[in-house]
Amino acid sequence: MAAAGVAATVVGLTPTLVASPQLLAQTYYLRGTNIGDEPTDAEFTAFMGRVFAGTATVPPSGPPTKIDYNAGFWPVSHGGLDDLKWDASVSQGAALLADEQIGDGDVVFAFSQGAVAASKYKGEHANTGATFVLVENPNRANGGVLSRFAGLKIPILDVTFSGATPDNGDLTLDIARQYSGWSDFPTYPLNLLATANAVLGIVYLHGPTQRVEDLEAQLAAIPTDDPDYYQQHGNTTYYLIPTDRLPLLRPFGGIVPEPILVALNEPLRVLVETGYDRTDYSTPTRAQLLPKIDPVELTRDLADATAAGVAKGLASAGISPAPAATADQAPDSLAAPDLGERSEAQQAATTLTADDDAGAGAGGGGETAETPAARKAPGAKLRKALRDLAPKIGATAEQRAERKAERAAKRETERATASEQSEDRSAPESDDKSEPADREAG
């Protein structure tokens, strides 16, 4: 106030207060096509707030001003046959924005068709001093569908593919959601997997972006050192919001088990990404035929993605890979039976086979009580012995240790008994040997 008064005194004028441009600046917004389940104005302004916060953009104070254009897409928008066709609606939005005399410090926030209208205005008014925040922009230079097929026109719907948003002096933030077909359409549409994924992205990602509650966090988390998701060229900063689940898999949710969808997501993403060239988001890039693909690199990427997908799928199912077992920590269920148990099995098999042969031989041409069963089920006793042994093979380590100790004690007892019997046999032999000597002496 004092400075203004001094200046007024110097020039001999009545003192006046001239506010700075920032204090007079305003935020203007253009909504997207009036189609589907559109958010209310209050919900849309909350959406704007999340985008501003996530990109560290400070808008002017005061309530934003709505550019109330038709936002029609004849004949499928809410107004039906009464709505404007695409080109007429876009032109109306650009004209209404021009009526506001956008200037220094203003912010223009535009979504979807609104971004097309803002791009048209921007091309007609360079260096306004305003900041443009374009979300899901169909005119995005490398990715927007109106840039991919620039020069085409759909006569009945009156849709002109108007090319890329110009970078002509004003600061611009261009924010796209990965795989949303309006703003992130494939460079190589003949990759039908990528094209189908982008078309489904229009359904599952484009409009719902306005209601993503953690959009601020998603934008803030974008790695600024990864050119796939963040680039700066000239006066424009390009953001690509990562999409975790491919739109291609979204229709199968609730039908196909979740672990399978999780496992498929990674390798399918590798194939979908071969339909994109994300080298430079600022270069207007039309649709092209075929990419240059290194088959060796693609095979390696697919193998890595498949392994990662399987691991994530198992994790989502609550299954974690078991750590490799050491020799001292082998799982009980995989440990082989010890040699003593194998010896028992072999001995039982030999004995039972001999018994079967003996029984058959003793019967000669006749039949004993056992030979009919033996003939009907050859090796029945052998199988029974192996079945009896099976619980031992699958036993726990503690049970095997107990049986091993029992066998060791049994062998020790058998050795002691054999030693006693050997001593008993050797004593009479000594007596017999001494008898001739006694007789000779007599």
Question: Is residue 33 a contact partner of residue 138, using CB atoms and an 8 Å limit?
Answer: no
CB count, 10 Å around CB of 333? 7
Residue 421 has pLDDT above 80, yes or no: no
Residue 20 has pLDDT above 50, yes or no: no
As for how many domains the chain has, the answer is: 1
Among 35-44, 56-65, 405-414, 433-442, which stretch is predicted with the lowest mean pLDDT? Answer: 433-442
What is the pLDDT at residue 347? 53
Residue 350 has pLDDT above 80, yes or no: no
Task: Supply 314's token pair.
Answer: 């198992």
Place of tokens 């095979």: 299
> Which pLDDT tens digit goes with each residue over 63-120?
999 999 999 999 999 999 999 999 999 999 999 999 999 999 999 999 999 999 999 9
Closest CA to 113 of 189, 35, 40: 35
Report, as an integer, the average pLDDT of 151-161. 97
Tell me, yes or no, whether 117 lies in a domain.
yes
Residue 215 has pLDDT above 80, yes or no: yes
Residue 249 has pLDDT above 80, yes or no: yes
* DSSP 8-state code for residue 136: S
Cα 114 to Cα 296: distance, rounded to the nearest angstrom: 43
Q: SS3 of 226, please?
A: coil
Domain that holds residue 193: 27-317
> Position 331: which residue type?
P
The β-bridge partners of 135 are 111, 175
Tell me, yes or no, whether 60 lies in a domain.
yes
What is the pLDDT at residue 394? 42
Tell me, yes or no, whether 392 lies in a domain.
no
pLDDT tier, 435 (very low <50, low <70, confident <90, very high otherwise): very low
112 is catalytic: yes
Cα 116 to Cα 140: distance, rounded to the nearest angstrom: 9
The secondary structure of the chain in percent helix, strand, coil, rounded to multiples of 5, reads 50, 10, 40
Q: What Rg do the C-alpha atoms of the chain give, in angstroms?
A: 43
Report, as an integer, the average pLDDT of 196-202. 98
Tell me, yes or no, whether 106 lies in a domain.
yes
pTM of the model: 0.69
What is the pLDDT at residue 408? 62
Strands 159-160 and 230-233: unpaired
pLDDT tier, 427 (very low <50, low <70, confident <90, very high otherwise): low
CB count, 10 Å around CB of 166? 18
Question: Is residue 136 a contact partner of residue 32, using CB atoms and an 8 Å limit?
Answer: yes
Tell me, yes or no, whether 188 lies in a domain.
yes
Burial (CB < 10 A; 0-12, 13-18, 19+), residue 324, is exposed
What is the pLDDT at residue 353? 46
> Which pLDDT tens digit goes with each residue over 383-398?
454 455 444 444 444 5
Q: Which of 112, 147, 180, 183 is catalytic?
A: 112
Tell me, yes or no, whether 36 lies in a domain.
yes
Closest CA to 338 of 269, 401, 418: 401
Residue 416 has pLDDT above 50, yes or no: yes
Cα 296 to Cα 433: distance, rounded to the nearest angstrom: 90
The β-bridge partners of 131 are 107, 171
Strands 171-177 and 131-135: parallel
Task: Supply 202's token pair.
Answer: 């229009």
pLDDT tier, 413 (very low <50, low <70, confident <90, very high otherwise): confident
pLDDT tier, 376 (very low <50, low <70, confident <90, very high otherwise): very low
Question: Average pLDDT of the chain?
Answer: 80
Tell me, yes or no, whether 95 lies in a domain.
yes
Place of tokens 């569908």: 145
pLDDT tier, 399 (very low <50, low <70, confident <90, very high otherwise): low
Q: Which residues of 404-418 are buried (b: 16+ CB within 10 A; e: fewer)?
A: eeeeeeeeeeeeeee
Per cent of the chain over pLDDT 90 is: 64
